[in-house]
Amino acid sequence: MIAALVALWLANPLLDLGGDSTCPTPAEVRDRLAQLSGSTTAHPRSEQHRAYLSSTDGMVHVELLAPDGRLLAERTLDRTGSCADVAEAVAVVLSTWEAEFNPNVATSVVLPTPAPCEVEEVKPPPAPSLRFDVGIGLLASITGGEFVPGATVAASLSPAHGQLGLALALSASSTHSQSVGSLTGAAHWSRVALVAGPQYRLGRGATMLDFHAGGVVALLHIEGVGLPSTTSDTSAQLGIGAGLRGIWAWNNAAGWIGLDLLAYPGHDYLEIGGLGERGQLPHLEVQIASGLSLGRFP
């Protein structure tokens, strides 16, 4: 298209080339235009634009002026390559300007019809079918009027577009002390508990609230303290648990705080043989936990 513009323009030249540029010179640009068109025929017109070429700091500055001296366009080109290469670049710029500012050139050019664009439908990626999270946290275990620190690992799994899911939590507390009859602190005990059951989640944005409940399987370890002859014992316990957890998510991470109540029905007695002293472990344990989770939070 540029070659066609140049040929049309040179057949009826409306441009006067001048300036102090030495590489390329105005004559070299004029010759390059003639080479591109294959014609040097001149038919002067009254409405003649003027192009001025100047050299500065290894660059060529090109200006296009109207017959009355008004500046129509200007551009600075890097002077890289040979003078012939720069002359060709200047010729292309000038012919493009003439097509834009000279109606005798612009209206005579028939632009090719652009090829139709093929629009390809881009399907969004399939939405994930599950949401999940796994986290760790620190907890305070409160039972029998005493609280001790501990740790927990919590996880949940649910459908991406559902509110019901499955929750799991594994917790362990440090040692509680327990009186046996009149003997204060005669027994120490600790418990590792696994809670599993259904979960109901409210909210789908950055803030969510989980309600969960389930069965508890625990491992209880007890040992005597400060007695002439002490023993220890480890046994399993069954119970039930329920709680809630508030979640504040950002991207694939979330901070959370939770409150859980664990209940162990039945009678867990502590006896000291030969002394007739007897005690009982508390049935309820409250856990307050806080931590961080990673996962998918739609």
**DSSP codes of every residue in 32-51:** HHHHHHT-------SS-EEE
| Confidence tier at 40 by pLDDT (50, 70, 90) | very low
> Could you tell me which residue, 276 or 91, shows the higher pLDDT?
91
CATH number of 131-296: 2.40.160.20
Say what the pLDDT of residue 131 is: 85
Answer whether 26's CB lies under 8 Å from 55's CB.
Answer: no
| Confidence tier at 104 by pLDDT (50, 70, 90) | low
Say what the pLDDT of residue 271 is: 64
Which of 51, 49, 50, 56 lies closest to 23, judged by CA? 56
22 pLDDT more than 60: yes
Domain segments of the chain: what residues?
2-106, 131-296
pLDDT digits over 224-240, tens only?
776 666 677 888 999 99
Which residues are within 8 A (CB) of 31 and not within 5 positions of it... i.e. 6 or more apart? 87
Considering the domain 2-106, what is its CATH architecture?
2-Layer Sandwich (3.30)
254 pLDDT more than 90: yes
| Confidence tier at 109 by pLDDT (50, 70, 90) | very low
Say what the pLDDT of residue 101 is: 74
Joined together, the tokens standing for residue 81 give 């390559």
| Confidence tier at 128 by pLDDT (50, 70, 90) | low
